[in-house]
Structure 1
């Protein structure tokens, strides 16, 4: 019984040791039977923290690999949950943007669009621009719908990374099927996107694959989303109806400034067809936007697409736009963007000024465009304003830009014609084009016949030629042979033939 009397004491000691988690070498002296009794009699007295089987920390110490695997598994689960949330949010965001882009589109638009592989073959797209912030002509037959003053037929070639922009004069008199003959800018007002696309498709004799309607006020948001665009403004603009003033020369334009350039036509009233100059400037803005967008990072592209969705109606989706932008990366705006205006002739018919399409020239132009060529064989730059009227990708636009950048010299203007006010007129023309006129006055006599631009430094020759082209009226550039005293960088002498020659 002695052994039996000691048993409870031993059991008590073991329970105490287990209760206080004091594992020691004495535990090894326990018999297998004793351990079994302990487990049976006190099943809940063992803290799991001190159990080798239930203690993960103990297991980790024995095998660190198990711990790493658990951490990786937990991170993977958390990451999967995060990606699921992000993916859902992205899907919702894209859905909202797609909804904005397609909102308001005609249900019949798809009836006239011919689908192509957006990123693997050339396609044509119609770009229309409305300007609701400026009072437009009213027409009771349009039910208050705004006419489209900007009409561009674009050919986009993702394979060769080429873009062609053809401006179509808003006053072009064309057939609109059952609606009869009207100015082209009435097509959207009469029959929406469907009639506008079908009319332009018939006029150009090409299939149209995509369509976009842009509120011109949206140019502000788009340009600002890009952080501004770099544009060489051909000449100074002062046009309150377009939004204000814009200096000439190479500069980064914000949204408001870009809108002034895209809107203005009255700044060119003294030069002739303001609509043609405005169309050329709109293509300039579009080219600058494309150049900046294609060079932007994904975040900027995303913000720009968001801005687009607020002011553009199009059949293109977010994935279409982003995919096309990726494919077109590497496009050189100076050589890979062609531009021109559909050839027309102004006419006054039945009390209405219209533009009559020059059918033969138009067919020739579209034949070139459809082959992937530039619409014209060479670029055309207006000598009076420096505006690129057509670009054949031959670098002529860059030459015009170089001329604009070289407007840093001072010019002295002298009237040698004998006609009052011609010196001031020429000075104003040069100032409007971005040049600096330091002084005006009369020449030493009034016997000068031809208008000349004189210079001393041979390095100024190209600039002198650009000044002469700006003046027009058969002005020419000549190096000073020592017969003239030139106080500035250039001396302009206005001759009598100025009044008898055209600009």
Structure 2
């Protein structure tokens, strides 16, 4: 077999190969031999050839070694040949299009969610703005008398309702005033009922029934009068009327209450509410709140009003039927308050479930007296009120310190009355007064020892009846409470001995 030697590159082939290598190196400064005039015919710099672009300006810049864009390398680590094969296979373009569509869908979804979020925020803002405008106090001056509480501390709110009366008589007593101590930390609500006929000194320097405070100085006058009477600051104020209460009760679909006695008061309304479980509609709710012809009228009325208020709030925030925010919005036009709808909803959330909240109810200690022309005035027992409010401010039950005589159920107490004054008919008159206040007077007569007693005494033997004895003293506006022990013999819960100080 003949052997042939490999033919080498010719001189012209060597020059072409070298030129291609040099041309492939962008920015190379490897010098190449100059021509006879040191320049190529195309005036390119030494070591390069002309680079063509559709734009002549870019061609000149590239020829001078100015590079504006260089394609990035494949990030997959594959070779140029593999990259080219991947791009050339079937389905590559479709994959690119699918990924592009997915990106567009994602972008559109995010945009849509953003639009929904903005719309929802705008809707919620409009919802609360409308509710707040309806809840607002309008031209009331109540905020002048409100005092903001310390952060996290219990605070008082004054809730008022102009309930009126089903008959002309007793219309002034149709105004309901509830001072409510709200302790969010311990989930405790304490309702203090303030009778509308309590005599208070107002800014004009004269004494008036509390119900006249707004006519003297607006809602701020009323708030200051209650705050002064109870010795507390009032942080919030809310007001409504009979029509407002009916509307709210109808919105929540009725309010269920458990009544421990029948409610039958012609001045309150034509409805008779039987004892036991009752679902109140709007009119019957107003009847319950107006009613006052109980044996211990003020104490029972305070309990009924507190019971209704808590059960109404429980019904509204329970989530049954309409949502709580919807109830607040729908009922906003029925209430005037400095609370915003957001604050009301937040308070409902804090106290939920209201069925587990500790609730106390009491009335300002004192007694109703009948003045000239049959006008009734409520006389406050200042010492007992101070004792009760001391317990309330401490977060305890209103009667826990020394007892609240207004909470005594007089209908359950038996009393014997003996005349030790020497004043004829004194025992009979005292017995009539006690019976009118609801006590069971089982016997009336004279003392059997012939002694003239200088002072009236209300005697108890069982310590459980000490507060009841105080109630009798309060109702008679006379007497001294005495622990009789074994010194006095009687079969009733209490014994009243009329003394020479009796002026009844």
TM-score (norm 1): 0.57
Contact 1:224 1:254 in 2 (8 A): yes
Residue correspondence of structure 1 range 95-494 to structure 2 within 5 A:
95-107=129-141, 109-116=142-149, 120-131=152-163, 134=166, 149-240=175-266, 241-265=268-292, 268=293, 271-272=294-295, 274-296=297-319, 299-333=322-356, 336-351=358-373, 352-377=375-400, 380=407, 382=409, 384=411
Task: Work out the CA distance in 1 between the residues paired with 2:377 and 2:398.
Answer: 23
Task: Work out the CA distance in 2 between the residues paired with 1:77 and 1:358.
Answer: 68
Task: Work out the CA distance in 2 between the residues paired with 1:255 and 1:276.
Answer: 23
Task: Work out the CA distance in 1 between the residues paired with 2:170 and 2:301.
Answer: 21
Contact 1:158 1:328 in 2 (8 A): yes
Are the structure 2 counterparts of residues 279 and 299 from structure 1 closer, same or farther at C-alpha, using a change threshold of 3 Å? same
Q: Which residue of 1 aligns with 2:52?
A: none
SS in 2 for 1:217: helix
Q: CA deviation at 1:229?
A: 2.3
Are the structure 2 counterparts of residues 66 and 297 from structure 1 closer, same or farther at C-alpha, using a change threshold of 3 Å? farther
Q: CA deviation at 1:258?
A: 2.2
Runs of 5+ consecutive residues of structure 2 not aligned to the other structure: 1-90, 413-441, 444-490, 497-504
Runs of 5+ consecutive residues of structure 1 not aligned to the other structure: 1-56, 140-145, 386-448, 451-496
Task: Work out the CA distance in 2 between the residues paired with 1:92 and 1:148.
Answer: 36
Contact 1:175 1:182 in 2 (8 A): yes
Task: Work out the CA distance in 2 between the residues paired with 1:337 and 1:105.
Answer: 33
Q: CA deviation at 1:155?
A: 0.5
SS in 2 for 1:67: helix
SS in 2 for 1:81: helix
Contact 2:317 2:323 in 1 (8 A): no
Contact 2:371 2:377 in 1 (8 A): yes
Q: CA deviation at 1:346?
A: 2.3
Residue correspondences, number: 324
Contact 1:148 1:186 in 2 (8 A): no
SS in 2 for 1:88: helix
Contact 1:348 1:354 in 2 (8 A): yes
SS in 1 for 2:140: coil
Q: CA deviation at 1:89?
A: 2.4
Task: Work out the CA distance in 2 between the residues paired with 1:260 and 1:58.
Answer: 81
Are the structure 2 counterparts of residues 88 and 133 from structure 1 closer, same or farther at C-alpha, using a change threshold of 3 Å? farther
Task: Work out the CA distance in 2 between the residues paired with 1:348 and 1:174.
Answer: 17
Q: Which residue of 1 aligns with 2:102?
A: 68
SS in 1 for 2:272: strand
Q: CA deviation at 1:88?
A: 1.7
Contact 2:156 2:181 in 1 (8 A): yes
- 1:49-97 CA-partner distances (Å, limit 9, x unpaired): xxxxxxxx99665453432222122122122222322322221221111
Q: CA deviation at 1:191?
A: 1.7
Q: CA deviation at 1:222?
A: 1.9
Q: CA deviation at 1:282?
A: 1.4
- 1:159-206 CA-partner distances (Å, limit 9, x unpaired): 111110000111111111324101111112322210000111111111
- 1:268-305 CA-partner distances (Å, limit 9, x unpaired): 3xx54545433331111012113333433695212221
SS in 2 for 1:178: coil
- 1:446-486 CA-partner distances (Å, limit 9, x unpaired): xxx99xxxxxxxxxxxxxxxxxxxxxxxxxxxxxxxxxxxx
When the two chains are superposed, the root-mean-square deviation of aligned CA atoms in Å is 3.5
SS in 1 for 2:196: coil
Q: CA deviation at 1:239?
A: 4.2
* Greater C-alpha radius of gyration: 2
Contact 2:173 2:197 in 1 (8 A): no
Task: Work out the CA distance in 2 between the residues paired with 1:257 and 1:173.
Answer: 30
Contact 1:169 1:276 in 2 (8 A): no
Are the structure 2 counterparts of residues 133 and 170 from structure 1 closer, same or farther at C-alpha, using a change threshold of 3 Å? closer
TM-score (norm 2): 0.57
Task: Work out the CA distance in 2 between the residues paired with 1:103 and 1:345.
Answer: 33
Contact 1:121 1:157 in 2 (8 A): yes
Contact 2:175 2:196 in 1 (8 A): yes
SS in 2 for 1:116: coil
Contact 1:128 1:148 in 2 (8 A): no
